């Protein structure tokens, strides 16, 4: 039983995180992760949404959350901005942990 538990913990540690990226107009990048957004006190609208962020051309980051509704990607940001994107042309990535 201890060996099985050790193997399960080892396999869980090698889990992959999926994410999507999309370039911004000013040489930045939008990143959508599959991690649940965990800071309800920052953005009330993010409960049960996924975490995401935008990196600008100066490598500054604005965090937010995202979800898909009506075939569009809806994203709230911690700076108060809200954006809607099409689902076209996002690049899928799978990253090992």
As a whole number of angstroms, the distance between CA 43 and CA 47 comes to 8
Is 64 part of any domain?
yes
As a whole number of angstroms, the distance between CA 17 and CA 11 comes to 14
- What global pTM score does this model have? 0.76
Q: What pLDDT, on a 0 to 100 scale, did the predictor assign at position 39?
A: 66
Local mean pLDDT, 10-residue blocks, the chain (97 residues): 41 64 95 84 77 95 94 93 95 83
Give the domain extent around 50.
16-96
Close Cβ partners of 88 (under 8 Å, ≥ 6 residues apart): none
Is 69 part of any domain?
yes
Is 8 part of any domain?
no
Enclosing H/E stretch for 84? strand 82-86
> Total structural domains in the chain?
1
Cα separation values, 56 from 10, 16, 44, 53, 71, Å: 36, 25, 24, 10, 26
Q: What pLDDT, on a 0 to 100 scale, did the predictor assign at position 24?
A: 93
Is 27 part of any domain?
yes
């Amino acid at each position: 039983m201890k060996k099985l538990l050790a193997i399960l913990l080892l396999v869980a540690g090698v889990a992959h995180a999926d994410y999507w990226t999309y370039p911004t107009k000013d040489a930045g990048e939008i990143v959508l992760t599959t991690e649940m957004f965990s800071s309800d006190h920052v953005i009330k609208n993010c409960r049960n949404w996924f975490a995401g962020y935008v990196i600008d051309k100066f490598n500054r980051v604005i965090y937010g959350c995202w979800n898909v509704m009506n075939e569009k990607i809806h994203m709230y940001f911690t700076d108060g901005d809200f954006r809607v994107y099409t689902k076209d042309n996002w690049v899928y990535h799978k990253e090992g942990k």
